[in-house]
């Protein structure tokens, strides 16, 4: 029987603290500004992808969460073409000693352990996992930094998911995008105390997809031009410095300010783009109350292109942050009793009950996680020895 060659990796979600929004080149996914993100732990949020190649396959195939996906899109075709070219170059170097996998069709199976297309950076983890899995299948020598240039062409923020810890996506200046890549600011071991609480407002698909939203903002928002030309370059250096110095107060202020400004540019677009809702705004107010009661900045909110709140905090302030959340979000399938039994409900008269009530009625789920590692090899293949999806016979 013909051999099935395969490799499996897991890849993480990353949540930007300095937002990427807007493209200077749509085809190459080249951003109008540099960005910074925190890679979250794969114990809680991850994409698992198995890439396989075989003479048995008759076409390229991609399966996501059990459903067959269209692979004819330019983004996916670009990744397949570029990855095959890299493999072909290796085969040419080692004439006759490598199986000609570049000529075989690919079957790729991917699964998320979190809602897809709901503002939880599923495309970032998905494309990072795809690129890394095929790179492992092809045994490519390219570094993660080099692979991030490819992943960027699938989904811009995917380039940041090629690294763990704290990551910058340098926008670059070359027209061909060869210098628009992700680099690691610091590994997760540098500041492991960083934690995140994700308040899932809705697991439904977004009304305005990120790509079309970006194009509308670039075209119509005057605030956006000020942001990319003046604000972000300065904020980029300040945020890198706050991470390297483990200065949470500065990190928090910059993170919240950048989230606010990003959504302001969405509102400044025409027609306006609404990613936040009443529940999102209640989360902002609750974080403000938490910091007020604490007497210092112990929590920072940020929102990507969706209503879900991500609240960053340090492990030593867990009670101050999760106590009010636990009081506001009782009975949600979120609290890991074995690891959070020490968190006591904390709600004082200083907390505005309007925000608490809105959150209680509007949050579907809470995910408690923290900073984590980049892509990892896995032995849990999603494709069996015959090339079939597990549990399927095609």
Per-residue pLDDT at 277 exceeds 80:
yes
Per-residue pLDDT at 173 exceeds 60:
yes
> Encoding tokens for residue 371?
């900073």
Domain 194-370, CATH class in plain words: alpha beta
Tell me how far apart the 2 most distant CA atoms of the chain are, in Å: 75
Judging by DSSP bridges, how do beta strands 23-25 and 30-31 pair with one another?
antiparallel
> Encoding tokens for residue 133?
């899995």
> Encoding tokens for residue 125?
């983890």
Please name the residues in contact with 353: beta carbons below 8 A apart, sequence gap of 6 or more: none
Identify any residues that bridge with 215 across adjacent strands, giving them in sequence order. Answer: none
Q: What is the pLDDT of residues 122-136, one digit of tens each?
A: 889 999 999 999 999
For residues 68 and 197, give the distance between their C-alpha atoms in angstroms, rounded to a whole number: 32
Integer-rounded Cα Rg, in Å, for the chain is: 21
394 — pLDDT class (breaks 50, 70, 90): very low
**Domain boundaries for CATH 3.30.230.10 within the chain:** 5-188
54 neighbors 5 (Cβ within 8 angstroms):
yes
Cis peptide before 271 (omega within 30 of 0): yes
Give the pLDDT confidence score for residue 382 in this predicted structure. Answer: 97
Helix, strand, or coil here: 6?
strand
21 neighbors 265 (Cβ within 8 angstroms):
yes
- Per-residue pLDDT, averaged over 190-203, amounts to 90
- Per-residue pLDDT, averaged over 50-54, amounts to 98
The lowest-confidence range among 181-190, 205-214, 261-270, 367-376 is: 205-214
CA 220 to chain centroid, in Å, comes to 26
**Domain boundaries for CATH 3.30.70.890 within the chain:** 194-370
In angstroms, the Cα distances linking 325 to 36, 197, 237, 289, 351 are 26, 9, 32, 11, 11
- Locate the DSSP E strands across 43-190: 46-54, 61-64, 67-69, 105-112, 166-170, 181-186
115 — pLDDT class (breaks 50, 70, 90): low
For residues 23 and 268, give the distance between their C-alpha atoms in angstroms, rounded to a whole number: 17
Strand 105-112: give its sheet, edge to edge: 67-69, 61-64, 105-112, 46-54, 5-12, 376-377
Residue 324 CB neighbour total at 10 angstroms: 26
Judging by DSSP bridges, how do beta strands 14-18 and 67-69 pair with one another?
unpaired
Backbone angles phi, psi at 301, to 5 degrees: -95, 155
Per-residue pLDDT at 338 exceeds 60:
no
- Per-residue pLDDT, averaged over 206-226, amounts to 84
Per-residue pLDDT at 204 exceeds 90:
no
Secondary structure in 3-state letters for 39-52 = EECCCCCEEEEEEE
Question: Which residue from 134, 78, 68 is spatially nearest to 102, judged by alpha carbons?
Answer: 134
- Per-residue pLDDT, averaged over 27-46, amounts to 95
Give the pLDDT confidence score for residue 202 in this predicted structure. Answer: 65
10 neighbors 129 (Cβ within 8 angstroms):
yes
In angstroms, the Cα distances linking 311 to 79, 259, 306, 322 are 33, 12, 14, 10
Per-residue pLDDT at 51 exceeds 60:
yes
For residues 45 and 40, give the distance between their C-alpha atoms in angstroms, rounded to a whole number: 7
Give the pLDDT confidence score for residue 340 in this predicted structure. Answer: 67
Helix, strand, or coil here: 148?
helix
pTM value is 0.93
| 5-188 CATH choice from 3.30.230.10, 3.40.50.150, 3.40.605.10, 3.40.190.10 | 3.30.230.10
Give the pLDDT confidence score for residue 95 in this predicted structure. Answer: 83
CA 215 to chain centroid, in Å, comes to 20
393 — pLDDT class (breaks 50, 70, 90): very low
Report the share of the chain in percent with pLDDT over 90.
Answer: 77
């Amino acid at each position: 029987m013909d051999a099935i060659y395969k490799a499996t990796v897991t890849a993480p979600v990353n949540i930007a603290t300095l937002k990427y929004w807007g493209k200077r080149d749509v085809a190459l996914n080249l951003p109008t500004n540099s960005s910074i993100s925190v890679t979250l732990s794969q114990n809680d949020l991850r994409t698992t992808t198995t890439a396989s190649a075989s003479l048995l396959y008759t076409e390229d195939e991609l399966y996501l969460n059990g459903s067959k996906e269209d692979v004819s899109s330019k983004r996916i075709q670009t990744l397949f073409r570029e990855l095959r070219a890299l493999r072909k170059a290796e085969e040419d170097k080692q004439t006759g000693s490598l199986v000609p996998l570049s000529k075989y069709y690919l079957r790729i199976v991917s699964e998320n352990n979190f809602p897809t297309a709901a503002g939880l950076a599923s495309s970032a983890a998905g494309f990072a996992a795809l690129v890394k899995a095929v790179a492992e299948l092809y045994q490519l020598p390219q570094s993660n930094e080099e692979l991030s240039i490819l992943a960027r062409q699938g989904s811009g923020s995917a380039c940041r998911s090629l690294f763990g810890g704290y990551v910058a996506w340098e926008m670059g200046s070359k027209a061909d995008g060869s210098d628009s890549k992700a680099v690691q600011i610091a590994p997760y071991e540098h500041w492991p105390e960083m934690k995140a609480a994700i308040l899932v407002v809705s697991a439904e698909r977004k009304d305005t997809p990120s790509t079309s939203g970006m194009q509308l903002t670039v075209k119509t928002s005057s605030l956006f031009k000020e942001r990319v030309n003046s604000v972000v370059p300065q904020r980029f250096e300040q945020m890198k410095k706050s991470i390297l110095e483990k200065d949470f107060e500065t990190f928090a202020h910059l993170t919240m300010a950048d989230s606010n400004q990003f959504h302001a540019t969405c509102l400044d677009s025409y027609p306006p783009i609404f990613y936040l809702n009443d529940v999102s705004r209640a989360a902002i107010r609750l974080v403000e109350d938490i910091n007020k009661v604490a007497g210092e900045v112990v929590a920072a909110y940020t929102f990507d292109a969706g209503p879900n709140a991500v609240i960053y905090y340090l492990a030593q302030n867990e009670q101050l942050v999760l106590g009010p959340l636990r009081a506001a979000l009782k009975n949600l399938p979120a609290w890991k009793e074995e690891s959070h039994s020490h968190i006591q409900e904390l709600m004082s008269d200083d907390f505005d009950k309007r925000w608490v009530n809105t959150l209680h009625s509007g949050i579907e789920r809470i995910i408690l996680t923290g900073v984590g590692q980049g892509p990892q090899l896995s032995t849990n293949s999603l494709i069996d020895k015959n090339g079939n999806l597990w549990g399927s016979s095609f």
